[in-house]
Amino acid sequence: MGSGTPSFLGLLCALLTLRPGSGFYLPGLAPVSFCPAGSSSSDCQVNIQLFVNRLDSIESVLPYEYDFFDFCKDDQEKRPSENLGQVLFGERIETSPYKFSFMKTETCAKVCTKSYDVSKQEERTKLEFLKKGMQLNYQHHWIVDNMPVTWCYTVEDNQKYCNPGFPIGCYVDGNGHPKDACVINAQFNEKNTFYVFNHVDITITYHSGEGEGWTGARLVAATLEPRSYKHEDENKPVCEGEPMSIPGITNSNVKITYSYSVTFTVPHLRGLASICPPSPFLLSIMNSLVIVLFLSGMVAMIMLRTLHKDIARYNQVDQSYIRLFTQEESGWKQVHGDVFRPPRNGMVLSVFLGQGAQIFIMTFITLFLACLGFLSPANRGALMTCAVVLWVLLGTPAGYVSARMYKTFGGEKWKTNVLLTALLCPGIIFADFFVMNLILWVEGSSAAIPFGTLVAVLALWFGISVPLTFVGAYFGFKKQHPVRTNQIPRQIPEQSFFTKPLPGIIMGGILPFGCIFIQLFFILNSIWSHQMYYMFGFLFLVFIILVITCSEATVLLCYFHLCAEDYHWWWRSFLTSSFTAFYLLVYAVHYFFSKLQIIGAASTILYFGYTMIMVLIFFLFTGNGFVGGFFFFFFFVFRFSDSMVLVFFVLPPA
């Protein structure tokens, strides 16, 4: 394609970005206006407070609080109130000593000086922990006006990459090879040496309110450039000269002076490409749509050709009912008397279906709200808080679905069914989460959940979710599902390789996973590589496509199995779509060894522990994704066609 011809992705991106010029502000995200010192307006602020968050690393799953590294502290330290989602995610936001006045430029301003006497064990331990943080490439995460302070730098092909964090320092190993950020400066060349980024050049971009109908100015971006300077005079720092280095083997005292510079600027105009989503998002959507169209065509072909012919034949009133029933049946019609036979371990299946319904509804509502912007990344912790609250409040659908399915199977142990629905899967997840929290607590990580928060989560679970599950089960057990099955089970003929349960289940999970694996890469990056995920509109669309794909793949494969006269479809239909979780596990293992650089036993255990929680939730969700289309298909086919048989048997044609 020539350079002058617009690509399809570019055209699609342009269409996606067309929108009206007016806007609105979401609840809780009202903008703050700033004015220079001496302004007479009372509607804007003068001081800009910089907040600091926990520090994390792509080489370790263990995050740590800002104070854990012995950086400069705020004399009047305050912690904003954190919601449940922030606490569960391990965010630890606090004020910092970096305070600015709007429109006041400062150059090489001192923040504080940290001294380490290596003869004292406590100070030596702090220095060694700081060096370990630089070796593992731990990253600062600063916040200004609820916006992340980003570090932008140039990578290959002169492309600019912005990271919502910056390293505390870097390390040059014993062979003279610079690691991580040490490659940006040729002065970082001493072997077995740590270089501390003790100075930051901060640039705050603002948009003036002149002619906009509001007073003052609003901050639109904040960027910084980390630097390393060895300040000879801590009272009069000079931001030039040699970098601040710490030998790998430290035998002398170390003194680190932290400083900063801040400037204010207006934004530059940006092109359309800066606001378009990355190409992989669009490719993911198109890939998923192709799969859905293919499966929809296959299911439609079955419904229109096979079922339509059969039901039309039942409806031919000009034929004798004797001739109708003397015709030899074949395929799926031969098992209509056994298809609703209760499955083995129906209790467990009904519990899985109930929990899956709860997770399905929770995910749908959460993504829908996030798609509207109410759970944007700017509203920190809102996504997790919304998911937890919705899960607690959706105990009623879980109990209803589980009880109704268990009653359909002819079960009578309703108390056991309700208790397992309320406690089995959440109990497994909480036990895994509790063990992971113990490891975080032993390692001193900021991600360790406080004991009070654990008690609050348990109170929500047992005080709200469990009673609501009983309420839903009460209404579910009142429903009656009289289905007729033959007294003697029909013998299942010898099955070919492709109609046996295991091959069908393995093949059934491939197509749903093919719809999500590109989005899955970005989601795992946001979790483990600490990148911000913001494309919730695309994610919601992929979610809908995933549900449709799970339903259609299950309908298609189970129809083929029924045509082979194998009527054991209950567990097979659940496992066909839920086997997608196995591919998720395989992809997570591949991601761990190919994309991450995690070292240490604790970080490895934490990664796979949290991964197992995600796999279990995805297993229940995708296993329940077949319910809508699947039950419509089979109840329509077998219940309706069987009713037609009864009508013709009782009422002979005129």
Query: Would the pTM of this model clear 0.85, i.e. be above it?
Result: no
Tell whether 123 and 235 lie within a shared domain: yes
**Domain assignment present for 599:** yes
* pLDDT for the residue numbered 614: 94
**Domain assignment present for 503:** no
Tell whether 209 and 298 lie within a shared domain: no
- Residues with Cβ within 8 Å of 461's Cβ and at least 6 positions away in sequence, in order, are 392, 426, 430
Tell whether 247 and 299 lie within a shared domain: no
**Domain assignment present for 228:** yes
Tell whether 265 and 352 lie within a shared domain: no
- Residues with Cβ within 8 Å of 107's Cβ and at least 6 positions away in sequence, in order, are 239, 261
* pLDDT for the residue numbered 4: 39
Tell whether 244 and 297 lie within a shared domain: no
Q: Which has the closest alpha carbon to 564: 501, 522, 507, 518?
A: 501
**Domain assignment present for 256:** yes
Residues 435-453: tens digit of each pLDDT = 999 999 998 888 888 888 8
* pLDDT for the residue numbered 639: 46
- Residues with Cβ within 8 Å of 392's Cβ and at least 6 positions away in sequence, in order, are 460, 461, 464, 465, 468
- Residues with Cβ within 8 Å of 64's Cβ and at least 6 positions away in sequence, in order, are 54, 55, 56, 133, 138, 444, 445, 446
Using pLDDT thresholds of 50, 70 and 90, give the confidence band for residue 642: very low
> What residues pair up with 180 in beta bridges, in sequence order?
none
Half-sphere exposure of 20 (CA within 13 A, CB side): 3
**Domain assignment present for 463:** yes
Tell whether 360 and 252 lie within a shared domain: no
Tell whether 540 and 393 lie within a shared domain: yes
Residues 164-210: tens digit of each pLDDT = 889 999 999 888 888 888 888 888 888 899 999 999 999 999 988 77
**Domain assignment present for 169:** yes
Domain that holds residue 164: 27-272
d(CA 492, CA 495): 8
Tell whether 159 and 73 lie within a shared domain: yes
Tell whether 376 and 248 lie within a shared domain: no
Total domain count, the chain: 2
d(CA 258, CA 229): 9
Better pLDDT: 287 or 474: 474
558 φ/ψ sector (left φ>0, alpha ψ -120 to 50, else beta): alpha
Using pLDDT thresholds of 50, 70 and 90, give the confidence band for residue 535: confident
Using pLDDT thresholds of 50, 70 and 90, give the confidence band for residue 599: confident
Residue 174 per-residue DSSP state:
T
Tell whether 217 and 102 lie within a shared domain: yes
Tell whether 439 and 298 lie within a shared domain: yes
**Domain assignment present for 133:** yes
Average pLDDT, the chain: 79
Tell whether 84 and 226 lie within a shared domain: yes
* pLDDT for the residue numbered 276: 42
Mean pLDDT value of segment 143-166: 83
**Domain assignment present for 378:** yes
Residues 300-359: tens digit of each pLDDT = 776 666 666 656 665 554 454 444 444 445 556 666 666 777 888 889 999 999 999 899
Q: Does residue 227 contact residue 200 with C-beta atoms inside 8 Å?
A: yes
Using pLDDT thresholds of 50, 70 and 90, give the confidence band for residue 610: very high
User: Which range in 85-89, 433-437, 499-503, 529-533 is most confidently predicted, on average pLDDT?
Assistant: 433-437
